[in-house]
Amino acid sequence: AQKVTQAQTEISVVEKEDVTLDCVYETRDTTYYLFWYKQPPSGELVFLIRRNSFDEQNEISGRYSWNFQKSTSSFNFTITASQVVDSAVYFCALTSGGGYQKVTFGTGTKLQVIP
Amino acid sequence: DGGITQSPKYLFRKEGQNVTLSCEQNLNHDAMYWYRQDPGQGLRLIYYSQIVNDFQKGDIAEGYSVSREKKESFPLTVTSAQKNPTAFYLCASTIKPGQSYEQYFGPGTRLTVT
């Protein structure tokens, strides 16, 4: 069985602050993929990043960065210098087991950036 | 512009009525999915289809039905057998079936049954 835990239900930060969203996963498979999606108030989930289990390099994309650590089964997401437009629900997701892509989503973290 | 269309955005039905949610994609993706989202919960898979004329049950298929007669269309019917149908429904697709592909989502349909 696979599981994704996003322990932070809601986070509020003041604009320009840095914020880290935590994601802890569980899987018995050695090959797996981790994803982050953003769900703005409009409702449509938007893909942000994919990372496979064999690539532990951290990634930076503009103000976004991701820290993948297999030793702690974590795939954390940091937003630097947050902006109001970053306000959304962020989901971490996991696929593993090969074959059909069964995606397990975390329960999401609602981020509110206050101007 | 390529993408996924779901209609309508909001849908209201009386208890005991079946209702069909539309999902259309022009991305030429092989695989399509239906999810249900409830407040404070992650997305839960209802049905998925890896190819035309084929679909499989997800984790919460009871009370739902689907069809995949065309590659670009994957409608979801919420039947009267679904005990708690009020929810936000999201349709998604991937270019191919498989664990490595990111999902593309539609804007969702919010269904309210009274």
Question: Is the four-CA dihedral B17, B37, A88, A13 of positive or negative sign?
Answer: positive
Measured between beta carbons, the chain B residues lying within 8 angstroms of A97 are 99
- Is pLDDT of B53 > 70? yes
Is A3 an interface residue toward B (CB < 8 Å)?
A: no
Mean pLDDT of A43-69: 92
Q: Which helix (H) or strand (E) holds A38?
A: strand A32-39
The whole-number pLDDT of residue A56 equals 85
Cite the beta strand spans of chain B per DSSP E. 4-7, 10-13, 19-25, 31-37, 43-51, 54-57, 64-66, 76-78, 87-94, 104-105, 109-113
Which of A43, A46, A95 minimises the CB distance to B99?
A95
Q: How far is Cα A93 from Cα A5, in angstroms, rounded to an integer?
A: 9
Which of B42, B101, B108 minimises the CB distance to A91?
B42
B100, A107: Cβ pair inside 8 Å? no
* % of chain B residues with pLDDT over 90: 80
Mean of the per-residue pLDDT values of chain B? 93
Which pLDDT band, with edges at 50, 70 and 90, does A23 fall under? very high
A51 contacts: CB under 8 Å, gap ≥ 6: A33, A34, A35, A59, A66, A68, A75
Is A40 an interface residue toward B (CB < 8 Å)?
A: no
- Is pLDDT of B1 > 80? no
Mean pLDDT of A88-92: 97
Measured between beta carbons, the chain A residues lying within 8 angstroms of B92 are 45
Which of A4, A46, A101 minimises the CB distance to B99?
A101
Mean pLDDT of A33-41: 95
Q: Which of B107, B114, B104, B111 is nearest to B26 (CA)?
A: B104
The whole-number pLDDT of residue A18 equals 98
Mean pLDDT of B60-71: 96
- Is pLDDT of A98 > 90? no
> Do A86 and A80 form a contact (C-beta atoms < 8 A)?
no
The whole-number pLDDT of residue B45 equals 93
The 10s digit of each residue's pLDDT in B14-40 is 999 999 999 999 999 999 999 999 987
The whole-number pLDDT of residue B41 equals 81
Mean pLDDT of B29-56: 92
Mean of the per-residue pLDDT values of chain A? 93
The whole-number pLDDT of residue B25 equals 97
Mean pLDDT of A2-29: 96
User: Between the CA of residue A86 and those of A36, A97, A115, B63, B90, what are the distances in Å?
Assistant: 14, 32, 11, 36, 21
Mean pLDDT of A58-69: 93
Which pLDDT band, with edges at 50, 70 and 90, does A57 fall under? confident
> Do B35 and B25 form a contact (C-beta atoms < 8 A)?
no
Can you give A42-82 as a three-state secondary structure string?
A: CCCCEEEEEEECCCCCCEEECCEEEEEEHHHCEEEEEECCC
Question: Is the four-CA dihedral A108, A61, A40, B78 of positive or negative sign?
Answer: negative
Mean pLDDT of B79-87: 92
The whole-number pLDDT of residue A101 equals 61
Q: Which of B49, B40, B83 is nearest to A9 (CA)?
A: B40
Is B95 an interface residue toward A (CB < 8 Å)?
A: no
Measured between beta carbons, the chain A residues lying within 8 angstroms of B102 are 35, 47, 50
The encoded tokens of residue B31 equal 């695989």
Which of A9, A44, A100 minimises the CB distance to B107?
A44
